[in-house]
Amino acid sequence: MAKRVTLADVAGQAGVAVSTASLVLSGRGTEMRISARVQEKVFAVARELGYRPNAVSVGLRKGQTSTLGFVSDSVASSRLAGEMIKGAIEAARDRGYMVFVGETGGNLTLERQLLDAMFDRQVDGLILASMLTHGRELPEHLDRSPAVLLNISGHGGDGLPTVLPAEFQAGYDAATTLIEAGHTDIHLIGAGPGPDDVRTLSSAANDRLAGILAAMGEHGLAPASGHVITHWLPPEGFRAVSDLLQDTVPGALICFNDRIAMGAYQALQDRGLTIPDDVSVISFDDASIAGWMRPGLTTFALPHRAMGKKAADLLIDLVESRRSPKADAAPPSGEHLIPLPIRVRESVGAPRR
């Protein structure tokens, strides 16, 4: 491995003191009355040797490092939620920042160690993220730097900007899509039928259910049935829909995620029912399987990349507002909801006659 070129190397080859080389390369040569000939010599040697200043040292001198910390429970190892990291990196890069990423696996001791490591490296700000949307106790000393919560709900009192998916609106839009297609016989697979019929840690279930019920209520409707599921996996969706089919053939199903919908597809097809001619199905998440299912599953996509971008932009705004406060600009705060775009495929049609 090639030895890193130091400021002393540049100064030695240029025949000047290290302090002189430092002033020239930091742009203060003219201010300190260093001759143009000496400055040109120093710059030429620096280019020739491939000298690059130590970013950490420069950052410490300036009181900023142009780096952000990103600490999550299991975002990096989740293919779907990993988009949050990509979004954060893209937004940071566009604004001249780099991102250090650490994953805790849900281990609070490791989380504390990672946070300490980020602070030791003088990050300008920190994003604390979660794969599942839920509320949690925040770690101590998070206020040692500007911070933004990503996919962590219910902490408005902490005064931190929070980025969340707009789950209520997605639930509302899912029910509205079916109603506008002519459906009134709508069954919920995953939660419901009442507003408190939820059995999962993710707050997304509560918000999706509330949105569904609000949209149906506006049209004078209520769910025809609800089927609470603890683990949102294909076998659970298969069992719930198989049980439902013992009593009735539903007009439409709202599945609370794509894995439940995958099980629902299998149960319907085992009964010889076709989608959407016999039963319409709509879902949430837009997991990779949704586009491969036959027929393609209409679903609302979790906006992970957009959420990551928003979190990084908010954090940089917060960092820069503290560094150079403007009288007419309040630092970012509160909840920032990112819409879930609908992916229209072939699983929703008019009710069967």
**Cα–Cα distance list, 212 to 141, 160, 168, 256, 283 (Å):** 38, 29, 8, 11, 12
For 180-200, what is the mean pLDDT?
Answer: 95
Report the alpha-carbon distance of residue 123 to residue 183 in Å, rounded.
Answer: 52
For 289-297, what is the mean pLDDT?
Answer: 94
Question: What percent of the chain has a predicted confidence (pLDDT) above 90?
Answer: 55
3 or 106, greater pLDDT: 106
Instruction: Reply yes or no on whether the pLDDT at 63 is more than 60.
Output: no
Amino acid, res. 150: L
Instruction: Reply yes or no on whether the pLDDT at 296 is more than 80.
Output: yes
* HSE toward the beta carbon, residue 23, CA cutoff 13 A: 16
What is the model's pLDDT at position 251? 97
What is the model's pLDDT at position 335? 87
For 101-122, what is the mean pLDDT?
Answer: 87
Taking alpha carbons only, the member of 200, 192, 189 closest to residue 264 is 189
Instruction: Reply yes or no on whether the pLDDT at 257 is more than 90.
Output: yes
How sure is the predictor about 57, in pLDDT bands with cuts at 50, 70 and 90?
low
- Listed range (8-12, 219-223, 254-258, 283-287) with the worst mean pLDDT: 8-12
What is the model's pLDDT at position 235? 96
How sure is the predictor about 279, in pLDDT bands with cuts at 50, 70 and 90?
very high
What is the model's pLDDT at position 134? 77
Report the alpha-carbon distance of residue 202 to residue 271 in Å, rounded.
Answer: 32
- 336: β partners: 163
Cα 236 to chain centroid, rounded: 27
Region label for 267, one of left (φ > 0), alpha (ψ between -120 and 50) or beta (otherwise): alpha
Instruction: Reply yes or no on whether the pLDDT at 258 is more than 90.
Output: yes
What is the model's pLDDT at position 206? 93
What is the model's pLDDT at position 27? 77
Instruction: Reply yes or no on whether the pLDDT at 81 is more than 80.
Output: no
In three-state secondary structure terms, 337 is strand
Highest mean pLDDT among 80-89, 152-161, 290-299: 290-299
For 88-107, what is the mean pLDDT?
Answer: 90
Report the alpha-carbon distance of residue 276 to residue 342 in Å, rounded.
Answer: 17
DSSP state of 63: T
What is the model's pLDDT at position 32? 80
For 272-294, what is the mean pLDDT?
Answer: 95
Instruction: Reply yes or no on whether the pLDDT at 77 is more than 80.
Output: no
